[in-house]
């Protein structure tokens, strides 16, 4: 598919996807927290209420999966509008399943004598399993793109404790500059650099290694001059002024507008040859309705011209872990009763303390807890006096007898999450294409482990 065909396809998908979102905004924008306060169940079409009132919760898994087996089709018949939505989701949503790795990847890495492949256990120390998976896959992607674009220098803005940078630098041979405004994180990163590099030197029998360069500074990406930014990198990498410098911008889960700012910085710096981002926290994006000059969504000229908008609620649900929820709808679905308990607590709080609507409560599991016990644990520390008469009122008891309705409503809302995320990513992809940048989106993480698993790559 050539560039113009790809642009046309993205525009088509965006235009139709926004229509779907607009038609179902009443569901997407409905917080499950307000299920009893706002009587969300009555907002469903009659055909949906009749269907879902009688369906076993475990059958809801079919609504969150692309796979439809003959057995599922025989055992339950969904409303036609729900079936139509499932067809549209398959048509317009980005794929979420991790593809098979190229058969020759391991051979190439061995030929490159990757320190990461040889001493992977050292890199895994003090890194949680989810983060290990993300760093390994993201670094492999950077390695491929770096070889393709002939880039040896990488820049990680908002680098934290440098877990990604250490693997890129010590494991895959990149020269890495980390820019982080939190001094304590920078100090921690440098200590961890020393620890890992000394271990690698002993294991690999090498005398010297390049270290990541950590800069403790705040970079205003909206105002920084591209030339000044490149000079900062030259100083960090000790590259002479007249010597060529080509670098890649990388970001593993930059939040909200940071990802957009990195894309704009990439476009403004001729020396930046590629960008690779795995984005998250879409609810933190600024939008055109926020009345700020450099908002994060929409980004592409196509979407701006059509004044496309996604509500905060829609962007927030796009960050949910749909595959993890899918597994909870199985044999252990009783723990999902927590949605109903939390919604019932909210109803009591709104009745007694309306000024505390949508206040945060303690995360509390419902296993083996009565509703009253849950209330006491969830609201402890808030200084609330919830009377027993309120917690045991006939109205609350009636609500909780139908607790499965809350799970079903939440599942219906969650169906739209991949579509909303696709809209945000399509907009960014289209933005790069409009600027003449060769770009693509790939699935690089296992969605069960890492729900935000799409990498956006742009190359000059």
Check whether the bond before 118 is cis (ω within 30° of 0): no
Range in 55-69, 93-107, 415-429 the model is least confident about: 93-107
Q: How high is the pLDDT of residue 124?
A: 76
pLDDT bin (cut points 50, 70, 90) of residue 354 is very high
Average the pLDDT over 207-221 and give the result: 87
pLDDT for residue 75 is more than 80? no
Average the pLDDT over 147-173 and give the result: 94
Q: How high is the pLDDT of residue 73?
A: 45
Nearest to 422 by CA among 452, 381, 377: 452
**Cα dihedral 226, 229, 235, 240 in deg (nearest 10):** -10
Q: How high is the pLDDT of residue 202?
A: 86
pLDDT for residue 258 is more than 50? yes
The string of pLDDT tens digits covering residues 296-309 is 999 999 999 999 99
The string of pLDDT tens digits covering residues 325-351 is 999 998 778 899 999 999 999 999 999
Nearest to 50 by CA among 81, 7, 15: 81
Average the pLDDT over 308-320 and give the result: 96
pLDDT for residue 74 is more than 50? no
Q: How many residues does the chain have?
A: 460
Contact status, residue 146 vs residue 154, Cβ threshold 8 Å? yes
pLDDT bin (cut points 50, 70, 90) of residue 248 is very high
pLDDT for residue 184 is more than 70? yes
The string of pLDDT tens digits covering residues 223-238 is 788 999 999 999 999 9
Unique residue bearing structure tokens 């929820």: 325
The string of pLDDT tens digits covering residues 263-295 is 999 999 999 999 999 999 999 999 999 888 889
Contact status, residue 428 vs residue 14, Cβ threshold 8 Å? no
Cα of first residue to Cα of last residue in the chain, in angstroms, is 18
Phi, psi of 127 (to 5 degrees): -115, 125
Q: How high is the pLDDT of residue 277?
A: 98
Give the percent of the chain with pLDDT over 90.
Answer: 79
pLDDT bin (cut points 50, 70, 90) of residue 70 is very low
Q: How high is the pLDDT of residue 127?
A: 84
Q: How high is the pLDDT of residue 279?
A: 95
The string of pLDDT tens digits covering residues 419-448 is 999 999 999 999 999 999 999 999 999 999
Rounded to two decimals, the pTM is: 0.92
Q: How high is the pLDDT of residue 103?
A: 59
Taking the C-alpha atoms of residue 145 and residue 249, their distance in angstroms, rounded to an integer, is: 11
Q: What is the 3-state secondary structure (H, E, C) of 124-140?
A: HCCCCHHHHHHHHHHHH
CA distances from 338 to 79, 282, 343, 371, 374 (A): 27, 25, 8, 10, 9
pLDDT for residue 26 is more than 50? yes
The average confidence (pLDDT) of the chain is 91
The string of pLDDT tens digits covering residues 118-142 is 677 778 777 888 999 999 999 999 9
Q: Please enumerate in sequence order all residues whose Cβ is within 8 A of that of 78, keeping only pairs 6 or more positions apart, or say none.
A: 51, 62, 63, 86
CA 254 centroid distance within chain: 9
pLDDT bin (cut points 50, 70, 90) of residue 208 is confident
């Amino acid at each position: 598919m050539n560039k113009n065909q790809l642009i046309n396809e993205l525009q088509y998908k965006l235009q139709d996807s926004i229509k779907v979102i607009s038609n179902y905004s009443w569901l997407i924008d409905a917080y499950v927290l307000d299920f009893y306060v706002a009587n969300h169940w009555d907002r469903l079409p009659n055909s949906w209420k009749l269907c879902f009132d009688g369906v076993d919760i475990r059958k809801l898994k079919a609504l969150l999966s692309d796979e439809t087996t003959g057995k599922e089709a025989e055992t339950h018949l969904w409303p036609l509008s729900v079936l139509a939505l499932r067809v549209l989701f398959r048509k317009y949503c980005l794929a979420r399943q991790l593809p098979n790795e190229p058969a020759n990847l391991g051979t190439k890495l061995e030929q490159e004598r990757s320190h990461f492949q040889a001493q992977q256990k050292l890199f895994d120390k003090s890194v949680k399993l989810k983060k290990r998976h993300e760093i390994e896959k993201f670094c492999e992607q950077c390695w491929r793109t770096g070889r393709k674009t002939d880039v040896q220098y990488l820049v990680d803005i908002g680098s934290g404790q440098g877990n990604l940078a250490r693997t890129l630098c010590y494991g895959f041979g990149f020269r890495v500059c980390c820019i982080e405004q939190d001094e304590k994180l920078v100090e921690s990163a440098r200590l961890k650099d020393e620890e890992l590099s000394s271990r690698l030197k002993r294991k690999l029998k090498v005398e010297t290694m390049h270290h990541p360069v950590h800069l403790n500074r705040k970079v205003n990406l909206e105002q920084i001059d591209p030339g000044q930014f490149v000079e900062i990198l030259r100083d960090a990498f000790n590259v002479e002024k007249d010597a060529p410098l080509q670098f890649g911008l990388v970001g593993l889960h930059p939040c909200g507008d940071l990802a957009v700012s990195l894309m704009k910085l990439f476009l403004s710096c001729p020396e930046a040859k590629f960008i690779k981002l795995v984005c998250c926290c879409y609810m933190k994006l600024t939008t055109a309705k926020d009345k700020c000059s450099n908002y994060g969504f929409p980004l592409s000229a196509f979407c701006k011209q059509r004044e496309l908008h996604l509500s905060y609620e829609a962007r927030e649900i796009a960050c949910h872990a749909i595959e993890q929820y899918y597994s909870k709808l199985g044999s252990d679905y009783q723990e999902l009763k927590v949605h109903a308990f939390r919604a019932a607590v909210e109803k009591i709080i709104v009745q007694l303390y309306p000024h505390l609507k949508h206040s945060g409560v303690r995360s509390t599991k419902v296993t083996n807890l009565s509703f009253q016990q849950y209330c006491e644990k969830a609201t402890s520390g808030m200084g609330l006096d919830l009377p027993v008469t309120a917690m045991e009122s006939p109205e609350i008891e009636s609500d909780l007898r139908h607790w499965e309705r809350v799970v079903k409503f939440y599942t219906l809302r969650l169906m739209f999450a991949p579509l909303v995320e696709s809209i945000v990513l399509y907009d960014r992809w289209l933005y790069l294409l409009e600027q003449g940048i060769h770009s693509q989106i790939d699935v690089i993480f296992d969605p069960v482990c890492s729900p935000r698993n799409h990498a956006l790559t742009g190359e000059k």
